[in-house]
Amino acid sequence: MSTELELVARSYAFDGFVHTYRHASAATGTPMRFSVFLPPSATMDKPVPVLTFLAGLTCTEETFFAKAGALRLASSLGLGLVAPDTSPRGANLPGEDDDWDFGTGAGFWLDATEPPWAAHYRMEEYLTRELSSLLTQLPLDLSRQSIFGHSMGGHGALALALRHPGRYQSVSAFAPICSASVVPWGEKAFPRYLGADPKAWRAHDVAALVRDHGGPRGLPLFVDQGLDDKFLDTQLRPELLEAACQAVNHPLTLRRHVGYDHSYYFISTFVADHLAWHANALGLSA
């Protein structure tokens, strides 16, 4: 794995810095990009806790920082933010740019097992192993890390927290895909990434993971969902996650908000609540 980070953009914001890096990825076999917000308190002698945001379909490493309105509070909390890209880019696989909800910009935060995708679409390995290793070069305390996300990224955040117990101190999501194996987005992506066996899909389905591995001592889940979200009834299905958590007594805070849709207007309205949730888990004062 290459450990060389190329700084491609740097912006001053709320007395801290947003850095965007590019690097050669061994996990994906392509160049990858990620963005980091470093609050003014971050130094190599005193690294800050880190909160990773996983974005949704079609988004990039820039989307969250530009649209969510999270930087002011992160700066005052002394909280580092990380936003990776949502897929490999430039793998030049047949069909990877044909649809907005599969391939480029739609890595689903999993490791593909089926050709040709398995050679490059390894977003779980990228995030949990390669990117984590690279982040040790920055003033971030990886012993104190949490994760959250939106839509496909909400699915990713919840699934990865359940698949890697003990790795994250907290997890939350905005409008996540709650049971990807039984909704159209997942039914399109999972067979192509993971093959025809539904057992392989279940291992990346949040509601199924809760039923199989959750319980009263599990990591509490915090989810916000807008009730005017056009994807609510077909793609997101929060009631399936709610039922799974009730079945095994897994802690869940699920808030439903009248009038809110799937956009970053929704995220920006409630992002402070999520940062406060994670700050508390990471030992910071919200």
Residue numbers annotated as active site: 151, 229, 262
Q: How many whole angstroms separate alpha carbon 5 and alpha carbon 134? A: 8
Name the burial class of residue 4, with classes exposed (0-12), middle (13-18) and buried (19+) by CB atoms within 10 angstroms of its CB.
Answer: exposed
116 preceded by a cis bond (ω within 30 of 0): yes
Q: How many CA atoms lie within 13 A of 103 on its CB side?
A: 12
Amino acid at 120: H
Tokens representing 148 are: 């959250």
